[in-house]
Amino acid sequence: MSEQNYALRIAQSLQLTEEQVQNTLNLLETGATIPFISRYRKEVTGSLDEVQIGNIKDLYAKWLELDKRRAAILDSIAEQGKLTPDLRKQIEEAETMSVLEDLYLPYRPKRKTRASVAVEKGLQPLSKLLWAQRQLDLQREAAKFVNPEKGVANVEEALAGARDIIAEKISENPNIRARLRDTFLRHSRISTQQIPDKIDEEEKYRIYYKSEESLAKAPSHRILAMLRGEEEGILRIHIAPDEERTLADMKRRIVKNNSNSAQQVWQAATDSYKRLLQPQMETEMRKFYKEKADKEAIAVFSKNARQLLLAAPLGQVTTLAIDPGFRTGCKVVILDPQGKLLYNETIYPHPPVAQYKLASDKLKRLVLQYKVDAIAIGNGTAGRETENFVRHIPFEREVKAFMVNESGASVYSASPVAREEFPNYDVTVRGAVSIGRRLMDPLAELVKIDPKSIGVGQYQHDVNQKMLQESLQTTVESCVNYVGVELNTASKQLLSYVSGVGPALAQNIVDYRNENGAFASREALKKVPRFGAKAFQQAAGFLRIRGAENPLDASAVHPESYNVVSQMAADLDCSVADLMANKQLRQQIKLKKYITKTVGMPTLQDIMNELDKPGRDPRTQFEMFEFDKNVHTINDLYIGMVLPGIITNITNFGCFVDIGVHQDGLIHISRLSDHRISDPSEVVHLNQKVMVRVENVEIDRKRISLSLEPIK
């Protein structure tokens, strides 16, 4: 299929114009990234967003894969000398992989089967005789094929072999398979049973010990839970539509009459369904619905990760960070406004050491000595106790304390990235640094951690790992480029996600910065080894230089548009800096005057928005939050209690809320609103501050049920 045809098919599928798709494919072909295309090539694509561009890219890859398989199948059948014009036409017109494979199935090289054995015994003519479904003297006709030397001892063995050939023929018929596939997709039931003598110690799968529901309507999280239970050897799964109705439908399509040979065909068809088609279709359904569940779970994970990565930053302030602990003490670090480690030590305010006054005096001294503006406290073990301890210290300067989600901090602290950054410090110090930096700038710190470890997923270890990694990579890249990166302070991990950069160029940028000092301009990027014109085009607009001589270097205006802004300023007889500072000057600009073949109204409007708020961080403003001061453990909870909480994870079945008791509570989707909703994201988002009601508490199982329905 030509690229032009790809563009047409994709355009029809996504309800876009063929020109939009073709132009986007051309840009992708030249190595342009999705963030760059979305932000700086709106005139070319018709202002497609990142999701639409990603869909075009994915569908193009899907069609390429399909055509690659199509070519291989055509070659294979042609080599066998069996490629007829009609078959070629059917293969060339196939639009899905399942249809393509169905057409290829009769020609696919096979291992020995019951049908192939029967063919070797010379029973194919008998199978054709039966398939004609005429009234026959079965005993006489079958007796002609009895041949003990070939392994056909009697009439019954001859008929059985002929039925085996027919059964395989039916199972390989594309029309029958298509009809049956549709039946399985629409009408299958998925049933589960506990495997006898298998112990489910935590009773995680109790609701699946004996269950049955419509496969098409089963939520993705339930399908993934069932499959995990099967993987762990606790459950047995069966997938099929109603057998009696399915066989009746097959009979109407295969059996022509009530002759004795037709009865043999029906026996073969029943065997074909039970022995061949049903197991094959069940395997297909497992794969299809597993992939569907994977995509839904990955979409939830990516949406959560995006919200976490784009959480409001406190900003560049001197921060004291604490990684809490009881027996091993609380690790304390001081970070400067750029996140540089200035000091570390350990305090022991909790039992068994309980040096409360000594620990309190140390923190008071550190806050005063380093002029600390904020205290970040990890929300893990001893987190609430440490928060309570800190809030009772009479500091001599105003300082605010914040609880910080520390999911993944231990993963970072033991990682090669952390060892490279802090080779002379142990994992506890690195963990405390990560907690402090997360408060200052969540995005800059979380990019150093595998997104699967940040605690916002749904069955993330059960889904397709390659697909998950690709989705999360795309999400992180999107977030980094959406916010923009300060060129002179960014870590190489953060720089590596910038459009067109990657790990190798990120290292080159850091090395150049270390050797030559801070970049004075975006133009200076061209001096970085291997940072060529293409990389500059893709990356420059997303890199910021605060305090640069050219004020546009601190904005999202791309260098290729600097001449447009300069012309605007010249026409108003002012400098670019004046234009950025003076709203009245900007209001005098007539945008249509600056439209050219390459610069259209979308780019000009983006430029004006950026001149209005150059380099503005698009993330939300930071908000203060405190847990209930009277609640510290699950034992402090009672039904009906109303508490403040923070949403920490969103799934298809509800969301989890941290209420400060070391165990997140669950708000089931049915308790999120006073009206029916299909997706928790309709009413909540990650890191949202909420007031919740305690519905149930199971202390022994550490389960907390909450409600977000209007509290009266």
Q: What is the DSSP string of 259-308?
A: -HHHHHHHHHHHHIIIIIIHHHHHHHHHHHHHHHHHHHHHHHHHHHHHHH
**Neighbour-count burial for 588-623, b at 16+ CB within 10 Å, e otherwise:** ebeeeebeeeebbeebbebbbebbeebbeeebeeee
String of DSSP letters for 351-371: TTT--HHHHHHHHHHHHHHTT
In this predicted structure, the answer to whether residue 135 has a pLDDT above a threshold of 80 is: yes
441 by Cβ neighbours in 10 Å (0-12 / 13-18 / 19+) ranks as: buried
Cβ atoms of 332 and 364 within 8 Å: the answer is no
List, for residues 210-239, the tens digit of each pLDDT value: 999 999 999 988 999 999 999 999 999 999
**β-bridge pairing 485-486 and 341-347:** unpaired
Evaluate if residue 658 carries a pLDDT over 70: yes
Lowest-pLDDT range of 123-127, 237-241, 406-410: 406-410
Per CATH, which fold does 330-337+344-403+413-440 belong to?
A: Nucleotidyltransferase; domain 5 (3.30.420)
Task: Please state, in angstroms and rounded to a whole number, the distance separating the CA atoms of residues 307 and 649.
Answer: 10
Q: What pLDDT score was predicted for residue 316?
A: 92
**Average confidence (pLDDT) over 509-515:** 96
Nearest 5°: the CA angle 550, 555, 559 is 65
pLDDT tens-digit readout, 243-278: 999 999 999 999 999 999 999 999 999 999 999 999
Q: Taking the domain 502-612, which CATH number applies?
A: 1.10.150.310
Answer CATH for 3-88 from 1.10.10.10, 1.10.150.530, 3.40.50.300, 1.10.10.650: 1.10.10.650
Instruction: Identify the CATH assignment for 634-707 out of 3.40.50.300, 2.40.50.140, 3.40.50.1100, 3.40.50.2300.
Output: 2.40.50.140
Count CA atoms within 13 Å of residue 168 on its CB side. Answer: 21
Which has more confidence, 240 or 407?
A: 240
pLDDT at 5: 85
Other beta carbons within 10 Å of 41: 19
Cα separation, 374 vs 314, in Å, equals 9
363-390 tens-digit pLDDT: 999 999 999 999 999 988 999 999 999 9
Mean pLDDT of 426-447: 94
List pLDDT tens digits, range 26-60.
Answer: 999 999 999 999 999 999 999 999 999 999 999 99
What percent of the chain has a predicted confidence (pLDDT) above 90?
A: 82
φ, ψ of residue 403 in degrees (nearest 5): -80, 135
Contact assessment for residue 434 and residue 409, using Cβ atoms and an 8 Å cutoff: yes
Confidence at residue 1, expressed as pLDDT on a 0 to 100 scale? 52
Rounded Cα gap, residues 112 and 54, in angstroms: 44
* Residue spans per domain, the chain: 3-88, 330-337+344-403+413-440, 502-612, 634-707
Q: What is the pLDDT of residue 458?
A: 64
Mean predicted confidence (pLDDT) in 154-166: 97
* Residues present in the chain in total: 712
pTM of the model: 0.86
Q: Where are the strands (E) in 458-613, listed by range?
A: 485-486, 543-544
Phi and psi at 697, nearest 5°, equal: -135, 125
Q: What is the pLDDT of residues 170-223, one digit of tens each?
A: 999 999 999 999 999 999 999 999 998 888 877 889 899 999 999 999 998 899
Burial 512-534 (b: 16+ CB within 10 A, else e): bbeeeeebeebebbeebeebeee
For 598-629, what is each residue's pLDDT tens digit? 899 999 999 999 999 888 889 888 888 888 98
The three-state DSSP-derived secondary structure of 527-545 is HCCCCCHHHHHHHHHHEEC
User: What's the pLDDT at 711?
Assistant: 56
Given this model, what pLDDT does residue 690 score? 93
Q: Give yes or no for residue 592 having a pLDDT over 90.
A: yes
Say what the pLDDT of residue 457 is: 66
Distance separating alpha carbons of residues 646 and 594, to the nearest angstrom: 48
CB 603 within 8 A of CB 43: yes
Predicted confidence (pLDDT) per residue in 322-366, tens digit: 999 999 999 999 999 999 999 999 999 999 999 999 999 999 999
- Residue 594 tokens read as 């600056």
pLDDT at 123: 97
DSSP-derived secondary structure letter, 66? H
Q: Which pLDDT does position 712 carry in this prediction?
A: 47
Average pLDDT over the chain, rounded to whole? 93
Residue closest to 462 by CA, chosen among 220, 198, 203, 146: 220
Strand order in the sheet with 341-347: 341-347, 330-335, 319-323, 374-378, 400-404
Sign of CA dihedral 685, 690, 693, 696: positive
Percent of the chain with pLDDT over 70: 98
Q: Which residues fall within 8 angstroms of residue 675, CB to CB, at 6 or more apart? A: none
Q: Cα-atom radius of gyration of the chain, to the nearest Å?
A: 33
- Can you give the pLDDT at residue 455? 67
Listed in sequence order, the residues at least 6 apart from 244 whose beta carbon sits closer than 8 Å to its beta carbon are none
